[in-house]
Amino acid sequence: MRNQIAAANWKMNLTYQQAEKLLDEILKAQIELSTHQQVIFAVPAPYLTMAKSEVGRDKNFFIAAQNCHHKKSGAFTGEISAEMLQSLGIKYCVIGHSERREYFQETHAMLADKMDQCLENFITPIFCCGEPLSIRESGTQNEYVAQQLKDSLFHLSAAQVQSIIIAYEPIWAIGTGKTATTEQAQEIHAFLRSVISSQYGQDTADTIPILYGGSVKAGNAAELFACPDVDGGLVGGASLVAQDFITIIKALK
């Protein structure tokens, strides 16, 4: 079975003390996970080291950065490179979240470079894609997300693509309380897998976890995760509440 993943995206929330407490509460629940089930916390950069030491050696729990810079190093004040993350022992990084695309003008080409930076540094990128409401309403969401994949992923080798995670996050569902229906989620996840398959073959496409994001809650996680092509979720708001995120983790297939 493909890896099934509950990924928390804390965004720019929580103080250091609140972050420690939240992690503590979730880890204290001692959730039993199978080998193919993983939990990833994408935490603010200043908390990476603390979070990594909190999850310790628990083999199913990992820490992600929320972003990295698209260049290897240099005069980019305030930025964080993939190499720096690697030197901290961080194994995952969210790439191309829609908030970064929108508020920080991240282009497809920059995201392609960020993918390279991650992979060169043995970091698994969690590549986000997803359409705005206007595109969904015009019925062209498939073409839109396919283009996002083509422009930022298709330069990768098949071996590289096998070590990425994709997160489909319709922008109209992020932080809005509006969730894609299970039919909408399954349909576009299967489509994304077919886009990967057309470039890299079915075997490769079948190995890649595709997470759903956009108002995943304790109350809807189980039905979303039950879809055959939905391999877990990237969770914002509900990941900030220990009991809610615990319920979401337990909803993994």
Where does this chain bind ligand PGA (CB under 6 A)?
A: 9, 169, 174-175, 213-216, 234-238
- Residue 165 β-bridge partners: 126
Using CA atoms, how far apart are residues 199 and 217, in angstroms rounded to an integer?
33
- 185, 145 Cβ separation under 8 angstroms: no
Work out how close the CB of 73 gets to ligand PGA at its nearest, in angstroms, rounded to a whole number: 28
Work out how close the CB of 66 gets to ligand PGA at its nearest, in angstroms, rounded to a whole number: 10
169 has catalytic annotation: yes
Which residues have CB under 8 Å from 17's CB, separation 6+? none
> 83 vs 144, which CB is nearer to ligand PGA?
144
List the catalytic residue out of 69, 131, 169, 189: 169
- At position 207, the amino acid (one-letter code) is T
List the catalytic residue out of 69, 97, 106, 189: 97
- Residue 127 β-bridge partners: 95, 166
CB-based closest residue to ligand PGA: 236
- 217, 239 Cβ separation under 8 angstroms: no
Work out how close the CB of 69 gets to ligand PGA at its nearest, in angstroms, rounded to a whole number: 20
Work out how close the CB of 68 gets to ligand PGA at its nearest, in angstroms, rounded to a whole number: 17
Tokens at residue 208, please?
A: 């890649």
- 160, 89 Cβ separation under 8 angstroms: no
> 209 vs 237, which CB is nearer to ligand PGA?
237
CB atoms within 10 A of CB 163: 15
> 23 vs 216, which CB is nearer to ligand PGA?
216
Three-class secondary structure of residue 7 per DSSP: strand
Work out how close the CB of 218 gets to ligand PGA at its nearest, in angstroms, rounded to a whole number: 11
> 9 vs 86, which CB is nearer to ligand PGA?
9
> 149 vs 200, which CB is nearer to ligand PGA?
149
99 has catalytic annotation: no
The tally of CA atoms less than 13 A away on the side-chain side of residue 153 is: 32
Catalytic residues: 97, 169
